[in-house]
Amino acid sequence: MTSVAILGSTGSIGTQTLDVIRRNPEEFSVEVLAAGSSADLVIEQIAEFKPSLVVMADAAAAQKIKTEFDTLQVYHGKEALEKAATQSDVIVNAIVGFAGLPVTLAALNAGKRLALANKESLIAGGPIVQKARESKNAQIIPVDSEHCALHQCLGGDTTNADEPFTTVKKLLLTASGGPFRKWTKTELNQATLEDALNHPTWSMGQKITIDSSTLMNKGLEVIEAHELFGIGYDQIDVIVHPQSVIHSMVEFVDSSVIAQLSMPDMRLPISYALRYPTRGEAPWGEINWDTMRRLDFEKPNEEAFPCLGLAYEAGKIGETAPAWLNAANEIAVEAFLKRVIKWVEIPEIIQMTLNEFDGVLAETEHDIYAADRKARVIATAVMEKL
């Protein structure tokens, strides 16, 4: 029996993780649930999965849950969240945004298997996450579908590989292209929140859905791939593949390409991360080869979607630059979700924030938190000027 901690249990990845566990009760038990403020949904989850520990970001939500289940351990706040991230065999980080960093670090420092959906923590905290990853038995298994695909194409866990991948020529990250794939620059000027939330192939949380519409999600995933697999930015390419059936590919030095295919359903990569190195039944991504007709590919339009290039730039600078990129993006996306800015202003705010980057090295955890705070202040100021 594998015990699982699900941090971010009320979100898109969190609820799909519970779906995988619901279907395999003999294999998995839920030991920890954590979420932001949705007390009512967590109360339902507790009744069904019977965890021994619950942590909420919000104090009032924790109090409400405590009233329902008076013998259950229920806590709130960052320290409790960090403690929760060390309590099970597998820690699923399904929190959205930079708020997931304490979970990533605590899980790795405790030598746990981290099933990582929260890409922002790895991107913003790259250098210090790498140090935490050296802890004995610590392991990151990516939940992001592209990186799960790459993990499979590369032949499994790479955390302690002595040799870098000398036989890899390229990582080929696929992108659906999002809802605006065929939009012109003039049309993009008029893009609304509803347009941006209308993703063609994936149903996900709001933040990542907006990131997919700007291609920032793919930019973040380029950095994520670099951090996970240690492959240089010049060897990571993005290919638009509108059907989202090929989840990514690896091209080797002999020009052989290995791809991973399945229908778009996050429960498959979640199941892979929970069960690695074995596999188990996960029927959701099954392909119907009788109706599968074609798989298309095109180049991303970097002019209409500048976020992709901005991410490569910040990734190549390294150190605290990706933390700045991530923070500016979170500020801009939040403002767009509140209808304070236009869609086309998202990359402008990020670019103008990165123009102020101070070059601070990422030597300690403190450097990352400080960079995040500073970039948020600058991004907010930049936004007010617009």
Q: Rounded to an integer, what distance in angstroms lies between the CA atom of residue 222 and that of residue 232?
A: 10
Burial of residue 118, with CB atoms counted within 10 A of its CB: 0-12 exposed, 13-18 middle, 19 or more buried: buried
Q: Does 35 contact ligand NAD by CB under 6 A?
A: yes
CB distance 297 to 303 below 8 Å: no
* Site string (200-239) toward ligand NAD, x via CB under 6 A: --x-xx-xx-------------------------------
Q: How far is the CB of 179 from Mg ion (least distance, A)?
A: 15
Q: Which of 205, 183, 162 is nearest to 305 (CA)?
A: 183
* Site string (68-107) toward ligand NAD, x via CB under 6 A: -------------x------------xxx--x--------
Q: Does 120 contact ligand NAD by CB under 6 A?
A: yes
Q: What Å distances lie between residue 216 and 42, 222, 298, 305, 353, CA to CA? A: 30, 10, 18, 8, 15
Among the residue ranges 144-152, 155-163, 176-184, 264-272, the one whose residues contact Mg ion (CB under 5 A): 144-152
Give kind and range of the element (H or E) at residue 105.
helix 101-109
Q: Rounded to an integer, what distance in angstroms lies between the CA atom of residue 66 and that of residue 47?
A: 13
* Site string (88-127) toward Mg ion, x via CB under 5 A: ----------------------------------------
* Site string (252-291) toward ligand NAD, x via CB under 6 A: --------------x-------------------------
- At residue 141, the 3 state secondary structure works out as strand
CB distance 33 to 9 below 8 Å: yes
Q: Tokens 């509108």 correspond to what residue?
A: 242
Q: Which of 191, 249, 271, 235 is nearest to 16 (CA)?
A: 271
* Count of residues in contact with ligand NAD, rule CB under 6 A: 28
* Site string (183-222) toward Mg ion, x via CB under 5 A: ----------------------------------------
Q: What Å distances lie between residue 154 and 122, 158, 173, 251, 282, CA to CA? A: 20, 8, 13, 10, 21
CB-nearer residue toward ligand NAD: 259 or 333: 333
Q: Rounded to an integer, what distance in angstroms lies between the CA atom of residue 284 and that of residue 161?
A: 31
Q: How far is the CB of 377 from ligand NAD (least distance, A)?
A: 19
Q: How far is the CB of 221 from ligand NAD (least distance, A)?
A: 9
Q: Does 144 contact Mg ion by CB under 5 A?
A: yes
Binding site for ligand NAD (CB under 6 A): 8-14, 34-36, 38, 57, 81, 94-96, 99, 117-120, 144, 202, 204-205, 207-208, 266
Binding site for Mg ion (CB under 5 A): 144-146
